Structures are given as C-alpha cells and as structure tokens.
C-alpha cells in the first residue's frame, strides 16, 4: 500500500471512530428515554431492572456507563489528532474500538425495539468484540499514558462491565422466558453457581493479560467488581433479598480485584547440557 493510500485509510479510520462513538451516544440517549423512548430498566416488562433477578445489579451500578461514555468520547477526540493518525497501535485497534461502540449502541436499540433473546445475542457479540479488542491492546503494548488511559482503561472497563452485564442479561432472559417458575431457593443456588463462573471469567482475564502493565490488567477487574458489589448491595437492601448471593458477590469481587495484582512465579529456564 502506498503512502497516500495508507494516509487515506488512516483518515477514514479516524472518521469512522468518531461516527461510531456519536452513534453510541445517540443510542444511549434513546436508551434512557430522552428522545421519547422507554428507559432501559422499564423495557421488556422490567426484566432488565434491578429487582428482576438475583443477579441484577442495583441501579446505582449503571452510573459506570457515564464513565465509559466519557472515556469513549475522549478517545474519539484524541485518536483524531494528527499525531495519532499513523500510529501502529491506532491502526491495529482503532477499527475494533469503533466496532465495539457500534455494537454497544445496537444493544441499546435492540433492548428498545426487539425482544430479550435478541438482547442476549447482541450483548454476546459485543462481549466477543471487546475481548478481541482487549487482546489486541495487550499484544501491542501501550507507549504512554494516553494509550493506557484512553485505550486500555476505556476498553478494559467496557469489557469488565459487559462481562458482568452479559451474565445479568442472560439471567434476565432465562428468568423471563425460559424458566420463569423457578422457586426462590433454586434461584439462589443458580445465582451462586453463576457468580462462581464469573470469578473464573475474571481469573481468565487476569491470566490473559499477564505481561501487560498494571493499569491495563486492573481495568476490567475494577469494572467487574463494581457491578458485583452492587449486586451484593441490591440483594441485601432490595428484592429479591438473598444473603447467600450477596456474600458470594462480595467475595467474587475481592477475588477478581486481587487476581491481576498477584505476581505468578516465572518459570526458570531449563539448563541445556
């Protein structure tokens, strides 16, 4: 590819990133009812609200979206600067970050206009895209604080929160459409089991980011832990009330935050005789 073509591709990427983030913000405004739509928590018969299942986070947890959106806006502006246009890390990850912004907006529109199963499909696709994007960022190390904050933290928090939101979304669909008549005790048992799976996911993310900087490693964990804490708070102070799920959520939050901070011993090289 010649220099002119490469420069044109870089400029196109910058424009696409800005357009994708604008689309995401507009979709978010639709999702909170600013344009006459219904707030997400009231959609799908309330299946996505804080009291819908034992794994639904308290409403306060969703304030994390404000942080993620602000970081995404900051990234869109920063990556549009001339100095960022031809950087290899932007070329590798910029298109992927744009894709995650579009998929984020599509989930909100899916929740607004389609059904619960469609939201599950949409959020799983978003989760896969975020995981692929984050893996790219781990493989291409950050070169400064701009990279760490506006790329790694932005995508990492998005990934961590969507990992937990996927669990809540799938649980909401199962509770509403697949097994709506589960008794309270069975719901608690399954809630604890799913939270253990969440812990394994968090540990998997920590292992998958070995070798990356501490900021990169902890961003997903902090976002997941934020949601887990609010699951625990919601189960102690609201309905459905269940101490077992709350305690498990708090424990899993601690495990997930601690995992990226643990330094695993390095293998000693095998001596060659």
Q: pLDDT tens digits, residue range 113-148?
A: 888 889 999 999 999 999 999 999 998 888 889 999
C-alpha Rg value of the chain to the nearest Å: 20
Q: pLDDT tens digits, residue range 149-180?
A: 999 999 999 999 999 989 888 888 888 777 77
| CB distance 228 to 249 below 8 Å | yes
Residue 66 CB neighbours (<10 A): 10
Per-residue pLDDT band for 62 (boundaries 50, 70, 90) equals confident
| CB distance 140 to 69 below 8 Å | no
Q: pLDDT tens digits, residue range 71-98?
A: 999 999 999 999 998 899 999 999 999 9
């Amino acid at each position: 590819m010649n220099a002119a073509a490469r420069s044109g591709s870089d400029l196109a990427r910058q424009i696409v990133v800005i357009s994708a983030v604008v689309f995401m913000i507009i979709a978010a405004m639709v999702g909170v009812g600013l344009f006459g739509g219904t707030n997400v928590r009231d959609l799908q018969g309330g299946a996505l609200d804080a009291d819908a299942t034992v794994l639904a986070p308290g409403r306060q947890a969703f304030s994390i979206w404000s942080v993620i959106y602000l970081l995404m806006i900051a990234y869109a502006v920063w990556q549009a600067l001339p100095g960022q246009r031809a950087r290899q890390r932007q070329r590798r990850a910029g298109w992927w970050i744009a894709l995650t912004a579009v998929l984020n907006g599509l989930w909100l529109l899916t929740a607004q206009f389609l059904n619960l199963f469609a939201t599950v499909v949409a959020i799983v696709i978003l989760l896969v895209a975020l995981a692929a994007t984050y893996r790219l960022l781990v493989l291409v190390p950050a070169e400064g604080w701009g990279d760490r904050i506006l790329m790694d933290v932005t995508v990492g928090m998005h990934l961590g929160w969507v990992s937990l939101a996927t669990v809540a979304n799938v649980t909401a669909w199962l509770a509403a459409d697949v097994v709506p008549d589960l008794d309270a005790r069975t719901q608690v048992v399954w809630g604890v089991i799913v939270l253990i799976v969440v812990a394994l996911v968090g540990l998997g993310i920590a292992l998958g980011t070995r070798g990356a900087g501490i900021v990169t490693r902890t961003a997903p964990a902090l976002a997941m832990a934020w949601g887990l804490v609010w699951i625990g708070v919601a189960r102690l102070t609201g309905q459905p009330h269940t101490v077992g799920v709350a305690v498990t959520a708090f424990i899993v939050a601690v495990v997930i935050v601690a995992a990226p901070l643990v330094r695993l011993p390095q293998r000693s090289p095998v001596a060659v005789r």
